[in-house]
Amino acid sequence: MGGINTYAYAGNRPTLGIDPFGLFTMTTDVSWGMANNIGGWWNFGQLGGTNASVTTRCSCTQECGSWKLVECIGQFQIDVLIRNDLRSDVEKWVRSREQEHVDDLMAGAGRMRQAGAAAEAALRKQTFSSKESCEAQSQAAVQAALISVARQEWSLSKRRDSNGSHSYPGIWPYK
């Protein structure tokens, strides 16, 4: 076929990358895994766990003796672990509860993209004295914007743990 790849701006994944200002891209990935223990020895009874992380990288270019931001790319990673010694009915229950956290976090991904795009747009108006300072300051600002929203979403989602809806109601969940 050939031609211009019109989805390159979104890492060839247009359903996961939104580009409202013409540059900012954020991908979201979810991974599920099994583990012997969730949360360490002090939390031996935890049946599953969901964690999220945000990474950002930015690139800059030199224009007329100063440096300007070209683009930033954000990555929102959600990792879910389920204990591997659970009965199958309990594993199914735990998966459904952890999926609620994933759904909560994914629901906030649009707000994260907006915050990252706004931070990137503000930074594109600035000039920097070096490539290193441009990339470091841009990365820090966009990362902070993404993390701020992610923390808000995570705080809302963690209420599920404290209100008892994620407390296993049965007896002895292990094989």
Q: What is the pLDDT of residues 1-51, one digit of tens each?
A: 455 555 554 555 555 444 444 568 999 999 999 988 776 655 556 888 899
DSSP state of 67: E
State the DSSP code for 43: G
Cα 25 from Cα 158, distance rounded (Å)? 27
- Please report, for residues 9, 70, 73, the alpha-carbon distance to residue 126 in angstroms, rounded to integers and kept in the order given: 22, 11, 18
Q: Quick one: pLDDT at residue 20?
A: 47
Longest C-alpha distance within the chain, in Å? 69
CA–CA dist 110, 106 (Å, integer): 8
Residue 72's pLDDT is 95
The strands making up 25-35's β-sheet, listed across from edge to edge, are 25-35, 66-83, 48-63
Name the burial class of residue 41, with classes exposed (0-12), middle (13-18) and buried (19+) by CB atoms within 10 angstroms of its CB: exposed
Q: Give the C-alpha distances (Å, rounded to integers) separating 30 from 1, 53, 54.
A: 32, 11, 12
Q: Alpha helix (H) ranges present in the chain?
A: 88-107, 109-123, 131-162
pLDDT at 79: 95
Distances from the Cα of 48 to the Cαs of 28, 80, 106, 166, in angstroms? 21, 7, 18, 10
pLDDT digits (tens, 9 = 90+) for 105-157: 999 999 999 999 999 999 999 999 999 999 999 999 999 999 999 999 998 88
What pTM was computed for the model?
Answer: 0.80
Q: Which two tokens stand for residue 68?
A: 């300007």
Per-residue pLDDT tens over the stretch 53-94: 999 999 999 999 999 999 999 999 999 999 999 989 999 999
DSSP state of 44: T
